[in-house]
Structure formats: structure tokens, C-alpha cells
């Protein structure tokens, strides 16, 4: 029987209704969480490590980076075959992507969570844990990178995003689809995400900020960030990489000040590209030093820039890492 280490971090999956406040709060320990899934004993030997019990909005990039180091350390043991990380769904895709970029181990790592709390009639936690452990214990998951497993669907960390605020079928990989499915008797993979990458610096650069383009946005936020001499800026542009003129001014000022600026799109799928050459388009801004982030969402590009800046500040090298 395979051995899976389950690392619990918190999230709705470990929350219950607090009668005093009328809302969900952290309440379920790592041990209790796994004990709620008795069927696990037929799948794998599961060791539980309670890393934290916090909402995922409290998880920082540094905590994600430290979790990656911890998993790599545990993965050195020949006794351990794979990992499941339980996590709040709000930033789950960010932790999964950070792990995917930084982990050295090839052992399966499956990140899961729940949309309904443990005091809910329709708590989806136990089913998601079972599916995640089944996937982590499956031979075909080796070398697939970090996987997000919820609702019996398996997604690649780099492609998945939360698409609905409360529905249990919230995790989707827009325009790509899942990499596999979890059935009652078997885990089936139908494709492999081939665009995975490793960025493994000693430390990350945390002060990277994300600005979303909206109609008529000016350069005020850029001025603040330039003043603060931040490590980097990610801009979510419109469409395939177009921004308002005020944002263009801000981008140019930041580039002049030596702050790397990465361009992504606020659209849910597709890449930024040099389609246009008018003022404020990716094509016009590229010669001024912007870095194009391909198909990454803003939140993932931000994490990638934090890691990439741990290796280099050189624009051409950053461009290659994001190409
Ligand atoms: N707010 C929760 C969290 O991310 C949502 C969840 O876990 O589904 O911690």
C-alpha cells in the first residue's frame, strides 16, 4: 500500500459554523479532517501533518514557498509516495502554481479543498480528500506536476482557476479542460500539461504588485509603487495586451525606473501578444521593456515574477523565463 502525506493548511474544508457570529470559522484539526474519510484506509496509508489552520486569504507567497521546501524535504524519504495538500479555495490555484514552479520532487502532489464547511449538510471535503488521495496514490500521476483535484476532476496547476464564488464545480481550466477524472474505482488521465516550467531560486522577492486595467485608469498607483521602489509590477491588460493611456504612462515610468513590468490579460483565457502597434498596445510598449506573460493569469504571473526576480533582474532573461 502506498504512503501519502496529507498536509492540512485550513480553508472552508476545515471550517464549521460559529453560532455566535453566524459564519464559518476554522474549527477542524488536520487529524479530524482525515478521520472524516474512513474509506482512505482502502486506498493508502495516510500520515497527517497540520501545517496551519487558516483561511487561504491569510496564506502568503512566503508560506507557499516554505511549503514547497517542506514537501521536497519529506519527499526525500523512500517511504513517501505522494502528497495531498488541503487548502482554502480562494488562493488554492496560487499555492498549487507556486508548488508546481518550485518543487524538485516528481512525486505526485494534489491540492484540494472544499466549497462547503464541515457543518454543512453537503460538505464536499471528504469526497475531495478521497479523490485527491486516490490521485496522489496513482502511478499515472507521477511526473504530471502539481494537480488540483476537486469535484472528482483533475486539473493542471498552471491552467486551473476558481470560476464561481460558491458552486462546488468552481475549478475549471478555461479553454484547456481537465487533465483527468477520478472514478469510484480508478483514476483516468487523458492528457498531460506540457508547458510546465521550473523556477527554483534560493528566495523569492515578495514586493511584486498586481494592477488591473479598467477603463480610464491613470498612473496614480504606478507612481506610488515607483516611489516605494517595489521589486516588480504585473499589469492585467485588456484583451491581448492593451492598456489605457494613463496605465501606459505608468508602465513607461516604471520601466524607466528599472522596475520590471510584466503584462498579462484580464481576459480569462488566451495570451498577450503584439497584435497592435497603437499607443498602449503590447506591440507599442514592448520596445520600452515590458515582459509578456503568455497565457498566465495576473495572480500566477505575480508569483512567477517573485520567483524569477530571485534569479535575475535582467529584462531579456526575464522575458525568456516568461516566454
Ligand atoms: N474563504 C475560504 C478560503 O479560501 C474559501 C474556501 O476554502 O473555499 O479559505
Among 63, 89, 95, say which to mutate for ligand 1: greatest number of ligand atoms within 8 Å of CB: 89
Determine whether the shortest distance from the Cβ of 12 to ligand 1 is under 6 A. Answer: yes
Same fold, 3-189 and 208-322: yes
Q: Which listed CATH number (3.40.50.40, 3.90.1150.10, 2.130.10.10, 3.40.140.10) goes with 208-322?
A: 3.40.50.40
Query: In this structure, what C-alpha cell is assigned to residue 302?
Result: 505575480
The residue extents of the domains of the chain are: 3-189, 208-322
- At 49 the pLDDT is 98
Separation of 24 CA from ligand 1 center, angstroms?
10
pLDDT more than 70, % of the chain: 100
User: What's the pLDDT tens digit per position in 95-132?
Assistant: 999 999 999 999 999 999 999 999 999 999 999 999 99
Residue 115 Cβ < 6 Å to ligand 1: yes
So which residues are the catalytic ones? 12
Measure the CA–CA gap between 246 and 139, rounded to whole angstroms: 52
pLDDT at 14: 96
Q: What is the pLDDT of residues 177-230, one digit of tens each?
A: 999 999 999 999 999 999 899 999 999 999 999 999 999 999 999 999 999 999
The strand ranges marked E within the chain are 3-8, 15-18, 23-26, 45-50, 82-86, 109-112, 146-150, 153-156, 161-162, 171-172, 180-182, 187-189, 208-212, 232-237, 261-265, 291-292
Ligand 1 probe mutation, 90, 124, 170, most atoms within 8 A of CB: 90
Pocket of ligand 1 contains residue 88 by CB under 6 Å: yes
Q: How far is Cα 118 from Cα 183, in angstroms, rounded to an integer?
A: 23
Name the CATH architecture for the domain at 3-189: 3-Layer(aba) Sandwich (3.40)
Classify each residue of 119-157 as buried b or exposed e, where b means 16 or more C-beta atoms within 10 Å of its C-beta. Answer: ebeebbbbbbbbbbbbbbbbeebeebbbbbbbbbbbbbb
Tell me the average pLDDT of the chain: 97
pLDDT value, residue 179: 98
Taking the mean position of all CA atoms in its chain, how far away is CA 162?
Answer: 10
Residue at grid coordinates 490555484: 93
Whole-angstrom distance, CA of residue 255 vs CA of residue 236:
16
Average pLDDT over residues 301-309: 98
Mean pLDDT in residue range 22-45: 96
Asked whether 61 lines ligand 1 (CB < 6 A), one says no
Beta strands in 151-244 (DSSP E): 153-156, 161-162, 171-172, 180-182, 187-189, 208-212, 232-237
Amino acid at each position: 500500500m502506498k504512503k501519502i502525506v496529507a498536509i492540512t493548511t485550513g480553508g472552508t474544508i476545515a471550517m464549521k459554523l460559529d453560532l455566535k457570529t453566524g459564519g464559518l470559522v476554522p474549527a477542524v484539526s488536520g487529524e479530524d479532517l482525515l478521520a472524516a474519510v474512513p474509506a482512505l484506509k482502502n486506498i493508502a496509508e495516510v500520515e497527517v501533518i497540520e501545517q496551519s489552520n487558516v483561511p487561504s486569504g491569510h496564506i502568503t507567497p512566503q508560506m507557499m514557498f516554505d511549503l514547497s521546501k517542506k514537501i521536497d524535504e519529506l519527499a526525500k524519504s523512500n517511504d513517501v509516495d505522494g502528497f495531498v495538500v488541503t487548502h482554502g479555495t480562494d488562493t488554492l490555484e496560487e499555492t498549487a502554481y507556486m508548488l508546481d514552479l518550485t518543487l524538485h520532487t516528481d512525486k505526485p502532489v494534489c491540492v484540494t479543498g472544499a466549497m462547503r464547511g464541515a457543518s454543512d449538510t453537503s460538505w464536499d471535503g471528504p469526497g475531495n480528500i478521497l479523490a485527491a488521495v486516490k490521485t496522489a496514490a496513482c502511478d499515472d500521476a507521477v511526473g504530471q506536476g502539481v494537480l488540483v483535484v476537486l469535484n472528482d476532476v483533475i486539473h493542471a496547476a498552471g491552467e486551473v482557476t476558481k470560476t464561481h464564488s460558491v458552486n462546488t464545480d468552481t475549478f475549471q481550466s478555461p479553454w484547456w479542460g481537465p487533465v483527468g477524472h477520478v472514478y469510484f474505482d480508478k483514476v483516468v488521465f487523458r492528457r498531460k500539461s506540457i508547458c510546465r516550467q521550473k523556477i527554483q531560486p534560493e528566495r523569492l522577492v515578495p514586493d511584486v504588485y498586481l494592477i488591473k486595467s479598467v477603463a480610464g485608469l491613470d498612473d496614480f498607483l504606478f507612481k506610488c509603487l515607483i516611489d516605494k521602489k517595489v521589486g516588480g509590477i504585473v499589469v492585467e491588460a485588456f484583451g491581448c495586451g492593451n492598456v489605457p493611456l494613463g496605465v501606459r504612462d505608468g508602465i513607461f515610468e516604471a520601466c524607466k525606473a528599472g522596475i520590471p513590468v510584466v503584462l498579462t490579460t484580464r481576459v480569462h483565457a488566451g495570451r498577450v501578444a503584439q497584435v497592435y502597434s497603437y499607443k498602449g498596445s503590447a506591440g507599442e510598449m514592448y520596445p520600452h521593456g515590458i515582459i509578456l506573460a503568455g497565457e498566465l493569469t495576473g495572480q500566477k504571473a505575480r508569483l512567477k515574477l517573485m520567483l524569477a526576480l530571485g534569479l535575475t533582474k535582467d529584462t531579456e532573461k526575464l522575458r525568456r523565463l516568461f516566454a
